[in-house]
Structure 1
Amino acid sequence: MPQLTTQREAKFRARRDQIINAARDCFRRQGFHGAGMAEIAALSELSVGQIYRCFTNKDAIIEEIVRRIVNNKMLMIARDETNLNRLAGDLAYRVIHRDAQTRDDDQALMLEVAAEATRNPVVALILQDADTLLFRQASEMLKRLYPVLSDTEIAARVELIAVMTEGTDFRMLTAQKASPTQLYSLYKKILQNVFPPMDK
């Protein structure tokens, strides 16, 4: 019986992944309003009924997409937590995410989420919850690294990093107008000024 349950769970997860992949493509091409459940069903090669067995509505699909993007960001934060030079380089060279295709897709989808949040209170709450989760994760990571900083000092630094990374995400839509080498030097100075040296 456990084997059968595991197989069912795996099939359910695979079906959700299939729906999410199709929805990401539809939302990127047509926006949340332009993409209907019928189109997502057609692209995922499932029926609308099968989609509703996995997700209660389109907002639930959006919530799962945002959750996955946030989880990827949290993994990136954890991986790079001690490397301020790498963060400076990522910002300067606009490589916030390592995989260019994922970066472009996630960036476009989060911009779509932000636009939808201005019209849809459910999506606004999803975005707010995602931001709270990321902020808490980043704060906990910085507190481990810099225990001498107060909670308000940690919060200010997390907000600064959020503004720099999210601003860079938005700026990726335009041609870079400054030398990445000079930007790297500036970002390094900023990060060195706001983060105290860690004890060896």
Structure 2
Amino acid sequence: MSTKLEERQKQRQDEIIIAARRCFRASGFHAASMSQIASEAKLSVGQIYRYFSNKDAIIEEMIRRIIDSRIEEMQGKTLVEGMPQALAWRQTLNEDDDALMLEMSAEATRNPQVAAMLIEAESRMFANACAHLKKQFPHLSDEHIRCCVEITAVMIEGTIYRRLTPLKVPSEQLEPLYQDILNMLFSAK
């Protein structure tokens, strides 16, 4: 059971993360400053440093929360269920998370620490997706499962990026093609 102090610390961290998300969306990770985050959170910069050692620590916590949310969303669902529709219609679980992950990818090109955070987060997500798929498709080899996860990750992440541009093909035409791709992936040996 957590103490009132731990609950208060968690609440304060949540407030800082919410403020940082707003600042990062508005200015980007590189341009957003700790003073902007403090102002948005209605705290002093010193108070922010009680909870996070630096901006990278805030980014790391944000990445962890986004990945935790995505892993949780994956649980209890079949990975291929609803995916053709989501890809064809460019649906997302959380538009803000998608935008922040794109922003983090851009920051990773400038900041090796953020790059390392993204690599670790992606590895965790990849391992979780492999384990999840192995339960659904136990007949597939581990190597084939890894290939399936890589291909679906490319489709999902590509779709997140493509959401920024107008759709060039009707979703009704794309959906059966995505279904065919997934059927081919998961019915292979």
TM bin, normalised by shorter chain, reads over 0.9
**CA 1:170–1:79: 2 relative to 1, 3 Å:** farther
Query: Whole-Å Cα distance in 2 between the matches of residues 37 and 150 of structure 1?
Result: 47
Q: 1:75 offset after TM fit, Å? A: 1.7
Q: 1:107 offset after TM fit, Å? A: 1.6
Query: Whole-Å Cα distance in 1 between the matches of residues 166 and 65 of structure 2?
Result: 28
57, 60, 63: which is aligned to 2:60?
Answer: 63
Query: Whole-Å Cα distance in 1 between the matches of residues 84 and 92 of structure 2?
Result: 10
Mapped contact 1:69–1:106 kept (Cα < 8 A): yes
47, 67, 73: which is aligned to 1:76?
Answer: 73
Q: Deviations over 1:94-131 (max 9, x none)?
A: 1131xxxxx22112211111011111110000000010
Q: 1:85 offset after TM fit, Å? A: 4.0
Query: Whole-Å Cα distance in 2 between the matches of residues 88 and 57 of structure 1?
Result: 40
Q: 1:50 offset after TM fit, Å? A: 1.1
Query: Whole-Å Cα distance in 2 between the matches of residues 95 and 191 of structure 1?
Result: 17
Secondary structure, aligned partner of 1:195: helix
- Aligned AA for 1:112? E
- State percent identity of aligned pairs: 47
Query: Whole-Å Cα distance in 1 between the matches of residues 162 and 121 of structure 2?
Result: 21
2:33 aligned partner: 36
Query: Whole-Å Cα distance in 2 between the matches of residues 110 and 126 of structure 1?
Result: 11
Query: Whole-Å Cα distance in 2 between the matches of residues 144 and 67 of structure 1?
Result: 24
Query: Whole-Å Cα distance in 2 between the matches of residues 14 and 169 of structure 1?
Result: 30
TM-score by length of 1: 0.90
Query: Whole-Å Cα distance in 2 between the matches of residues 78 and 87 of structure 1?
Result: 14
1:158 aligned partner: 149
- Aligned AA for 1:190? I
- Aligned AA for 1:51? I
Query: Whole-Å Cα distance in 1 between the matches of residues 55 and 6 of structure 2?
Result: 22
- Aligned AA for 1:164? M
Determine if the alignment matches structure 1 residue 88 to structure 2 residue 84.
yes
Mapped contact 1:80–1:87 kept (Cα < 8 A): no
- Aligned AA for 1:38? S
- Aligned AA for 1:183? L
Q: Which stretches in structure 1 are left out of the alignment for 5+ residues?
A: 98-102
Mapped contact 1:66–1:127 kept (Cα < 8 A): yes
1:171 aligned partner: 162
Counting only pairs closer than 5 Å after superposition, residues 6-155 of structure 1 correspond to structure 2 as: 6-81=3-78, 84-97=80-93, 103-155=94-146
RMSD across aligned positions (CA): 1.4
- Aligned AA for 1:46? L
Mapped contact 1:96–1:165 kept (Cα < 8 A): no
Q: Which stretches in structure 2 are left out of the alignment for 5+ residues?
A: none
Q: 1:57 offset after TM fit, Å? A: 0.5
Q: Which moved more, 1:117-126 or 1:69-78?
A: 69-78
TM-score by length of 2: 0.95
